[in-house]
Amino acid sequence: MPVEVWKVFAALGIPGLSLGVLYGLYRFNPRIFSAIPRRWMPLISIIYMVLVFIVVMTGVLRFADGDRKSAQAQPGVVIKGDCNVTNTTARDITVECP
């Protein structure tokens, strides 16, 4: 399939790319969908895109919610008292306490 066709599908997001895969399967081997009447194909394609959208959004929401919960459960390092904290890079943090 030409790149221009994939750009059109990519403009529709992940459901559009899944529709592109479905279209690519149909172009590669039309016998896969030969038992399905042509008038049902647009409806099947829309249902397929909606299902893919639901699966993707469920994964994104669970992933985002998991990050929020783990960030709340582990606050990081807590330094109390008179300490000097220097941060030269993201990995090198020096703490000097009297």
How many domains are there within the chain? 1
Instruction: Give residue 56's pLDDT.
Output: 83
* Of 22, 27, 29, 24, residue with least CA distance to 43: 22
Residue numbers of the domain that contains 30: 3-96
CA dist list (Å): 38 to 11, 34, 35, 52, 57: 25, 9, 9, 22, 30
Instruction: Give residue 27's pLDDT.
Output: 83
Residue 81: how many CB atoms within 10 A of its CB? 6
The structure's pTM equals: 0.47
Instruction: Give residue 65's pLDDT.
Output: 65
Q: List the pLDDT tens digit at each of the 98 positions of the chain.
A: 788 887 887 887 777 788 788 888 888 887 877 888 889 888 887 888 788 888 888 888 877 766 555 555 555 566 666 777 676 665 666 677 76
